[in-house]
Structure 1
């Protein structure tokens, strides 16, 4: 069994917990996940099974979330899982105040990851250092936010706003909540988070653990095909002999008939035989004389 499971992760489980449960349900050891979700967060968690685990690195990086920001509250973890370090009512905050500053969070922005995160500093995870009470300087990182849309606004002593956020890999929504509260001088923390899209998978097509278990009991469960999440990569079709050589690890000279839109090196491609069988992922590399299609991941042997 090999392919992808578009899992709708429940709250209260780590991404590692989800992988462990999938291993148990499918009775398979080779299982991995793409794009870690915090335990309290819900939504899309791509799960790779079998040889598909080797394709996780090639999935698209774009992600989308719906996050609830609560103003007037600051926590150690930048979400409600942490200890509250400041709680000051902010009834004067208006929706127009938020609308005025949201453009600051669009495009390529510098972001300081939360102190409780999996980022490594000097070989140590930040959350491990934080639990030990050690204070370290967290380096900023450049992330990209493509779009922010206000979905709902609830005024009050501790007002909340629901935001739809489309972003690139490595973006911390907790950090956006924290920094949004800081720029508004109210303080802010992430009260809830759901990932609606990740690595080419959407929540509307995701499965809960209960649905997976029901489908398994009814013998109706099947994984998504391995190349379904790789549609963003162009495809190359090889004749029989070339396909055999490529699967054996040989590099093939670039051929005009492949009709590749871009001949830039370092580009990755889905590779098929003429029967449409998915062979794996190839990469164009430059030799002394010409371009070569080198195998990166061979799926079909």
Structure 2
């Protein structure tokens, strides 16, 4: 199979689902992963024979095309997603890392690069992408990641092992005020969370590859209480943040002002709202009132 043939066999079936540009991006990602060539390589030598990676062949291509055309995310098909310059293992049951979340990580890194001792907590850690990136970028920091999902924690532990990063993983439910983990006496310089924030009423309008495959418990919140996770994390933060400690959140752009007001009501100061690379209000930093 030539490079051009592989690219077209992947791209063309995906156009009805994704549109031309995104279909090309997905096809390029698969070509690079299983065929070892980039879009530029395909343009320069389109008729070169594909040197498939070990364990991959034309049968693998047909299987992947079927899964991708059905809407299964390319990250699940490949079993990996990029984040902060590294690859993270992902699959059904764990939220796929997004590029926008990287901006939140770099904000924290820039704030704490020279701060030691440093203890950080990632609430709703999922694949562990935030916690592990912080541990790897902030040498010497003590980082913990908690999640209510055993499956998500299994992915986080695997990623920690693959990346060689020391993060403490624990099962904890931030919505359960009686969860004993929160009474363990730990104190954090910063707590970060990318919690569920998409109103349930948005589900119908979401793309099939998100709506039908990614875990709903990591995405959706009730329409009548869309900020429940922010409220819960803020209250745990009041109990467990060190003096002057900070909260960092990824937020739902449609409720940015409401999230700021909630954090102020919960007793936080210096509430700063930031826009992401697409100029959408998607990140907040605030400080525990002293």
Higher strand share: 1
**Alignment TM class, shorter chain as reference:** under 0.3
Instruction: Give the TM-score, by structure 2 length.
Output: 0.20
Higher helix share: 2
Computing the radius of gyration from Cα coordinates, the structure with the larger value is 1
